[in-house]
């Protein structure tokens, strides 16, 4: 592999692999394909599309993404064994540009998992990287938990991987342990100390356990790394990964002190951020850098006055740079399709004529209940329209009675497998009563892991977005919905989660559970 220009930083996106490993963030097959297409179009250099050995579903997703890729290199992850690597190659070989990414934990703690000595692990690294290189010309190797691996041993195994044919060496901060100065120094020392290091690309993969993933990744680039592994919205295990939008915009805005560039079309950041948040069921925090709701909002009087005089007083980047409309076009019940389409395009949504018709109907229904429809209302409408019309469980109607005189009561009518059924239940509040009525109609043992409500916009007529996460026998599913009635939004989100749980349990029955793999299989 030819090394990139020293000013060029390769963006390696692992939203579909490491990001999807967040509990509750599992995506459907079609959602993975959609996100991959958006990443490809946005200019991501390498898409880590999944873990092919994990399940038949993951294999099919990686394989189909590889077949559909236009610009990006498609990568699959494989543990350090021949079976994993062969399966990975079968999935990614369809791409014009492909990569095998193989890894093994090299720190003392991680070496103890497969119970390998240093020499045994070194032999395994040589064997598996060599095998991967014989299949694919582009191989990436990672010493998992590199930042807690002994220096001498880290140098040894990196040299082995380079000699075996790895063209990219990724140095993962798997548990978010390091700090920026250490991150830069580690990459710099490896490049200086390891024979052949100047002939390969060094990558950085940072987790956010101490809130330093973005800083650590940029510091690693300063130390000589030329590939950043990251995810949309920083999605990922535990506290998440380095956020793609943060490192890309940091290099763009502060190019004076970080003189590197990427191939990312930053005007597409907001659209893909919103889409990933929707399909993963992980709302973006309001004050999230770059893509948060408040990232370009100003409430302080001093700030507002400064913004009116010159936006540069309080904004270091333009909203348009990340895909937000710089102007506001208020929408209401008198607005037409053309205005709605224009607003959707400004918000980063591309819709066909038939989809626009469906959205327009929901928009008019909402506009009849609200004086003004805001941008965030439109985004919520897009989410609301994604509830599956062909799901086994459908909410038909509901009636709730509540007050201070006694328990709340909810009557719910549903269509289940084409049959209309209804039930009435009492509970500690309207949401509890509604959930109990739904459970009476569709008995289940799912445990409510998360129930989250936030207002999409301000005012008593604001839409509420509700997220519901359910867990049943180790299977996790998240549902989301929006409505001006919080109880209705809650019911729809709960039903949405139940439908996704049904789908995932069916896939598990087909052997598609991605969480069945273990480190023990590496030995």
Provide the 3-class DSSP secondary structure of residue 461: coil
| CA dist., res. 523 & res. 518, Å (int) | 10
Given phi > 0 = left and psi -120 to 50 = alpha, else beta, which region is 233? Answer: left
Report the DSSP beta bridge partners of residue 46. Answer: 12, 73
Check the annotation: does 241 bind a ligand: yes
Could you tell me which residues are beta bridge partners of residue 470?
Answer: 448, 477
Q: How many CA atoms lie within 13 A of 373 on its CB side?
A: 26
* H helix runs in 26-176, sequence order: 29-42, 56-68, 82-92, 108-111, 118-135, 151-164
Cβ count within 10 A of residue 215: 20
Distance CA 337, CA 345 (A): 12
> Which residue shows structure tokens 């990975």?
88
What tokens does 424 get?
Answer: 């009435």
**Measured at the alpha carbon of residue 477, what is the angle toward residues 472 and 481, in degrees to the nearest 5?**
130
Residues 6 or more apart whose CB falls under 8 angstroms from that of 389 comprise: none
3-state SS, 189-253, equals HHHHHCCCHHHCEEEEEEECCCCCHHHHHHHHHHCCCCEEEEEHHHCCCCCCECEHHHHHHHHHH
Q: How is residue 476 written in tokens? A: 């996790």
On whether 298 is known to bind a ligand per the annotation, the reply is no
Query: Which candidate, 467, 471, 499, 287, places its Cα nearest to that of 384?
Result: 467
> Which strand (E) or helix (H) includes residue 169?
strand 168-173
User: What residues form DSSP beta bridges with 447?
Assistant: 471
Annotation-wise, does 18 bind a ligand? yes
Q: Distance between CA atoms of 374 and 376, rounded to whole angstroms?
A: 5
Find where tokens 């348009």 sit: 320
Residues pairing with 201 in the sheet: 168
Residues at the binding site for Mn(2+) are: 18, 205, 207, 241
Residues at the binding site are: 18, 205, 207, 241
């Amino acid at each position: 592999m030819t090394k990139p220009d020293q000013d060029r930083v390769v963006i390696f996106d692992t939203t579909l692999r490491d990001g999807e490993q967040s509990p509750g963030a599992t995506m459907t097959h079609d959602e993975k394909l959609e996100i991959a297409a958006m990443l490809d179009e946005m200019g991501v250099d390498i898409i880590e599309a999944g873990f092919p050995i994990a399940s038949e579903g993951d294999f099919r997703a990686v394989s189909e993404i590889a077949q559909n890729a236009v610009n990006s290199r498609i990568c699959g992850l494989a543990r350090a064994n021949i079976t994993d690597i062969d399966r990975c190659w079968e999935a990614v070989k369809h791409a014009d540009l492909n990569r095998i990414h193989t890894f093994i934990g090299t720190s003392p703690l991680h070496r103890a998992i497969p119970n390998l000595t240093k020499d045994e692990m070194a032999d395994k690294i040589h064997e598996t990287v060599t095998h991967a290189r014989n299949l694919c010309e582009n191989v990436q190797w990672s010493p998992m938990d590199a930042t807690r691996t002994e220096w001498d041993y880290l140098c040894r195994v990196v040299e082995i991987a380079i000699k075996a044919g790895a063209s990219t060496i990724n140095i993962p901060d798997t548990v978010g342990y390091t700090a920026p100065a250490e991150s830069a120094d580690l990459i710099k020392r490896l490049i200086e100390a390891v024979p052949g290091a100047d002939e390969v690309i060094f990558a950085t993969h940072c987790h956010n356990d101490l809130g330093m993933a973005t800083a650590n990744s940029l510091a690693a680039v300063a130390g000589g790394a030329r590939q950043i592994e990251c995810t949309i919205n920083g999605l990922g295990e535990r506290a998440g990964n380095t956020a793609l939008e943060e490192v890309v915009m940091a290099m763009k805005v502060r190019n004076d002190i970080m003189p590197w560039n990427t191939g990312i079309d930053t005007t597409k950041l907001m659209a893909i951020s919103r889409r990933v948040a929707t399909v993963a069921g992980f709302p973006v925090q309001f004050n999230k850098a770059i893509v948060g709701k408040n990232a370009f909002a100003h409430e302080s009087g001093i700030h507002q006055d400064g913004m009116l005089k010159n936006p540069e007083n309080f904004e270091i980047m333009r909203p348009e740079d990340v895909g937000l409309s710089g102007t506001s076009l208020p929408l209401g019940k008198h607005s037409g399709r053309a205005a709605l389409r224009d607003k959707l395009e400004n918000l980063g949504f591309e819709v066909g004529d038939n989809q626009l018709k469906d959205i327009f109907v929901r928009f008019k229904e909402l506009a009849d209940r609200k004086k003004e429809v805001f941008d965030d209302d439109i985004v919520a409408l897009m989410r609301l329209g994604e509830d599956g019309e062909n799901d086994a469980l459908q909410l038909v109607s509901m009636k709730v009675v509540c007050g201070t005189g006694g328990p709340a009561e909810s009557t719910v009518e549903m269509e289940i497998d084409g049959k209309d059924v209804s039930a009435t239940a009492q509970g500690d509040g309207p949401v509890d009563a509604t959930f109990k009525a739904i459970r009476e109609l569709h008995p289940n043992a799912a445990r409510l892991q998360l129930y989250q409500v936030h207002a999409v916009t301000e005012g008593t007529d604001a839409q509420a977005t509700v997220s519901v996460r359910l867990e049943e026998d180790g299977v996790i599913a998240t549902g989301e919905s929006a409505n001006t009635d919080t109880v209705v939004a809650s019911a729809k989100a709960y039903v949405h989660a139940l439908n996704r749980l049904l789908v995932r349990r069916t896939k598990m029955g087909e052997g598609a559970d991605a969480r069945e793999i273990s480190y023990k299989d590496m030995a």
